[in-house]
Amino acid sequence: MKVLQWIKDTGPKRPELKSRQSRLKKIFMVSKRLVLCLMIFILVGLVWAGIRVWNMNTAASTTPLQQVQIGIVLGASMWGAEPSPGLKERLEEALHLYRNGTVQRLIVSGGLDKPDFPYTEAEGMQRYLVDKGVPVQHIVLENHATSTYENLLYSQRIMKEYGWTSSVIITHSYHGPRAMEIAQFLNFDHPQMALTESKVLNMPIHQSREVLAYAKWTLQRWWISAQTWVA
C-alpha cells in the first residue's frame, strides 16, 4: 500500500498531464494547418506554372502583321564573338521581316554577356545583320539591357527619341507571352509580335527557365506598380 501511495504521489499530476496534452494538440493542429497551406501553395504554383507553359506552347505571331517602322530584336546569349544558334533564329526572323518590307529599321537590344566577350549582344546582332546585307544605318543599337524588361524599356526610349511609334517585337514563341505582357505594361502603342519556333533550343529547359523568369517579372511588376502608386 505504501508503494502504491508513493507511486501515486510521485507520478504526474493530472493538471500537468492535461496541460501537456493540450500543448501537443495545439502543436499538432498548427502543424496540420502549415502542411495544408504548403500543399495549397504548391498546388497553386503548379497550376500557375502549367498555365504559363500552355501560353508558351500556344503563342503565335500577330496575324496579319501590319507594316511598322521598327522591329525590336530581343537579345539572347552570345557565343564569344558570334550570336548563339538561338539568337540567330531571332535574327533570321528579323531578316525575313526586313526583306519583305514589314519593318523599315531594326533595334537590336542586349548588353554584354561576359566581361571578356568582344561584343555586346546588340553589337553581335548588328554584325550578323550587316553580313546578311542589312545597311548599317538601318540598325540601331541598344547596348545596355540585361533583361527582357530592360530590352523593351530602353528600346521604347530610343523610339521616342527618334519619333517612331509603330513596332513589332521579334523573339521566340516561348518568350513571346512575357514579352507582350511587358510591352503592354510599358504602354507600347499596339505592339505586334513576330515569333519564331526554335529548332536548336532545348525547350523543356528553356520553358522551365521562362517559368522562373515569368515569376520574377510578376514580382518586379508588382514592385514597380507599388513604387508608382506611392509616388
Cell 526583306 -> residue: 99
pLDDT (average), residues 115-124? 94
Do residues 168 and 197 make contact, with C-beta atoms less than 8 angstroms apart? Answer: no
Q: Which percentage of the chain shows pLDDT scores above 70?
A: 90
Question: How many Å from the N-terminal Cα to the C-terminal Cα in the chain?
Answer: 81
pLDDT per position as a tens digit, 184-226: 999 999 999 999 999 999 999 999 999 999 999 999 999 998 8
DSSP conformation letters of 116-183: T-SS-HHHHHHHHHHHTT--GGGEEEE----SHHHHHHHHHHHHHHHT---EEEEEEGGGHHHHHHHH
Find the DSSP H helices in the chain: 2-10, 14-58, 85-99, 121-131, 148-162, 176-185, 203-230
Question: How far apart are alpha carbons 221 and 212 in whole angstroms?
Answer: 14
Q: How confident is the model at residue 48 (pLDDT cuts 50, 70, 90)?
A: confident
Burial profile 167-199: b = 16 or more Cβ within 10 angstroms, e = fewer: bbbbbbbbbbbbbbbbbebeebeebbbbbbebe
Which pLDDT does position 49 carry in this prediction?
74
User: What is the pLDDT, as a whole number, of residue 216?
Assistant: 92
Rounded to an integer, what distance in angstroms lies between the CA atom of residue 195 and that of residue 172?
5
> Average pLDDT, whole number, for the chain?
88
State mean pLDDT over 72-101. 96
Q: Give the model's pLDDT for residue 132.
A: 96
Beta bridge partners of 196: 172
Given a cut of 90, whether residue 21 has pLDDT beyond it is no
0.75 exceeded by the pTM?
A: yes
What residues are paired with 19 via a beta bridge? none
- Averaged pLDDT for residues 81-103: 96
49: buried, middle or exposed (CB in 10 Å: 19+, 13-18, 0-12)? Answer: middle
Query: So what's the pLDDT on residue 32?
Result: 75
Backbone angles phi, psi at 53, to 5 degrees: -65, -40
pLDDT at position 230 is: 82
| Res. 55 pLDDT band, cuts 50 70 90 | confident
| Cell reading at 37 | 497551406
State the pLDDT confidence band at 29, using cuts at 50, 70 and 90: confident
Angle value at C-alpha 156, between 217 and 80, nearest 5 degrees: 70
Under DSSP, is residue 231 helix (H, G, I), strand (E, B) or coil?
coil
